[in-house]
Amino acid sequence: MAITQIKTTGIADDAVTVAKMADNSIDSAQYVDGSIDTAHIADSQITVAKMAANSIDSDQYVDGSIDTAHLANDAVTSAKLDNNIVMTGSLSAAQVNGGVTTTVVSSSATATTGQNHFISSACTLTLPASPSLGDQVMVAVGNFATAILGRNSQKIEGTAEDMTIDVARVGLTCVYTGSTYGWAIY
């Protein structure tokens, strides 16, 4: 006669082995906490919902998997940019080297002392009307050769004439030296 029922008190400790257990007779409710190792986890079974916050860092990212929506503010520095990466159309009013404000000039305007002015198209940038000794205006010209630097009643390089900038991609600094010589160009 076959035995179909045994009380647990009649089973010796460690007497039930895996070989004596029916297939699929244990589910997750019987697992001991921490008893599952990675060798026993099936492929594709870990989902984002099961991962702890901040459990992934840059070592686990797939190359090229980060898009702009996932970049933190100020995460891209000039050291991370390739040479010649910024194009004329990509510039806007921004803080650049040393915290000096840059203004993009695309139509005739008056320069502001102590600022960079990026001339992005053919136009006239007029120097300040009442400069003080030592005032500076920085100018950079885009990929064209038809910008005019207006003197605004002050001399430029000792002459009472506006200055035509006929060189593409050039940068210069205008420093006011007084009424005799006016704006010196460096």
- How many Cβ atoms sit within 10 Å of the Cβ of residue 130? 10
For residue 152, which of 122, 186, 124 has the smallest C-alpha distance?
124
Side by side, the strands of the sheet bearing 163-165 are: 109-110, 124-126, 147-150, 163-165
Q: Flag whether 114 is in a domain.
A: yes
Predicted local confidence at residue 180, as pLDDT: 95
What are the 10-residue block averages of pLDDT along the chain, 186 residues in total? Answer: 79 84 82 83 84 81 80 77 57 52 92 94 95 96 90 96 93 96 96
The pLDDT score that the predictor gives to residue 113 is 95
**Who's near 53: CB < 8 A, 6+ residues apart?**
none
Let me know if residue 57 belongs to a domain: no
Domain containing residue 116: 88-185
In a domain, 104, yes or no: yes
> Is 8 part of a structural domain of the chain?
no
- 160: domain CATH number? 2.60.120
pLDDT of residue 94: 47
Note whether residue 102 is domain-resident: yes
pLDDT for the residue 83: 63
Does 160 fall in a domain?
Answer: yes
The answer as to whether 110 is a domain residue is yes
Q: How remote is the C-alpha of 70 from its chain's centroid?
A: 10
Give the C-alpha separation, 119 to 62, whole Å: 40
In the prediction, which pLDDT does 1 show?
66
Q: Which residues of 50-87 are buried (b: 16+ CB within 10 A; e: fewer)?
A: eeeeeeeeeeeeeeeeeeeeeeeeeeeeeeeeeeeeee
Is residue 62 in some structural domain? no
Number of structural domains, the chain?
1
Which residue in the block uniquely carries the two structure tokens 């898009």? Answer: 67
